[in-house]
Amino acid sequence: MATYQKRSGSWRAIIRKKGYPQVSATFDTKAQAERWAKQIETEMSQSRFIDTREADSLTIADALERYKREISVHKKSHRNERSRLAILTRDLGGYTLTSLRSSDVAAYRDRRLEVASGSTVRRDLALLSHLYTIALKEWGMPVENPCAQIRKPKLNKDREQRVSDAALGRILEAARGLHAEMPNLITLAVESGMRRSEMLGLKREEVKGSVAYLADTKNGTARAVPLSSKAREAINSLPVSRLDGRLFAIHPDTVTHYFARSCKDAGVAGLRFHDLRHEATSRFFERGLSIMEVAAITGHKDMRMLRRYTHLNPSTLAAKLG
């Protein structure tokens, strides 16, 4: 049976039942406390009682912080995920795990779409959804996922940005005045199709002859990247000065910033550094490599994703037709 305590004008109901944790709640009147106690006791007697107190009190902000410590830190993309966690904390952190409703998430989605792309917002929602999956399956909290039923934003259209040799030459010239390593990095990106993180993490000892051996990649699978003569020249012309053996000393964020400035100075609009990986992939196909050969170089496991990254030059295709 429940017991009741009167405290400073309010009533506290306390329920103790074998096999269940002690639960209590405070109400303005004794009648409210009795109704609540009767409901809880009925649920316990019918084995339907679920203790939601921890989830009721855990804010999204605190849950995301725990997620960062226990889950995110073990992902290869954890550095990139930090900003996404911060945005979710800023916009939804005041809710608790059980108070956040689908309508709240939908409103967040619509606000984010005013300043971010559909693909970015989809990744936001995927992260929030995974938080609830972890809370349910690993933290033992009886929560319902508010992301499950809402509409997902449309994906961005495939980027079809290509860069001509002439435009690339202007970008290289502009980059040379910003940082000594930038032209080498840009050339290596176009010639090898490696990701920015793969190139910046590459050590000289991992380059053997005409092949770069990548032990740590985005998808977790090691791969060997064949190097063209231009790629080898870009590597060999770098100074051998770093104690840790890495080829490049430039910071990832600096690469993004300097590449944008180089494109602006070169009069090339709409090009991002990651587009160089797209460019390299397209050039591999234009050189006559098969889809399996290109996948072996770039590390793509999903052929559909490889197709998204590939935009062949129509003039090159026309020349092949004769």
Three-state secondary structure call for residue 70 = helix
> Is 218 annotated in the active site?
yes
> Is 300 annotated in the active site?
yes
- Cite the DSSP H helix spans in the chain: 30-45, 53-57, 60-70, 78-92, 102-113, 118-137, 165-176, 182-192, 196-200, 229-236, 252-266, 275-286, 291-298, 303-308, 314-321
> Is 109 annotated in the active site?
no
- The pLDDT of residue 13 is 85
Find all residues with CB under 8 Å of 75, minimum gap 6, and list them. Answer: 81
Say what angle helices 60-70 and 78-92 make with each other, to 10 degrees.
Answer: 170
For the question of whether the overall pTM of this predicted structure is more than 0.75, the answer is no
Domain boundaries, the chain: 3-51, 57-137, 165-321
Q: Which CATH class is domain 165-321?
A: mainly alpha
Half-sphere exposure of 296 (CA within 13 A, CB side): 9
Dihedral in degrees, nearest 10, Cα atoms 234, 236, 237, 240: 130
pLDDT tens, residue by residue, 148-167 = 989 999 876 666 788 999 99
Whole-Å CA distances, 145 to 109, 124, 136? 15, 14, 9
- The pLDDT of residue 21 is 75
Annotated catalytic residue within 277, 278, 283, 311: 277
Backbone phi and psi for residue 194, each to the nearest 5 degrees, phi listed first: -75, 150
Cβ–Cβ < 8 Å for 129, 137: no
Q: Tell me the average confidence (pLDDT) per consecutive run of 10 residues in the chain, 322 residues long.
A: 84 83 80 85 75 78 94 79 92 91 94 90 95 91 87 76 93 96 97 93 92 82 91 91 83 93 94 92 88 87 70 67 72
pLDDT tens, residue by residue, 108-138 = 999 999 988 888 999 999 999 999 999 989 9
> Is 95 annotated in the active site?
no
> Is 179 annotated in the active site?
no
> Is 74 annotated in the active site?
no
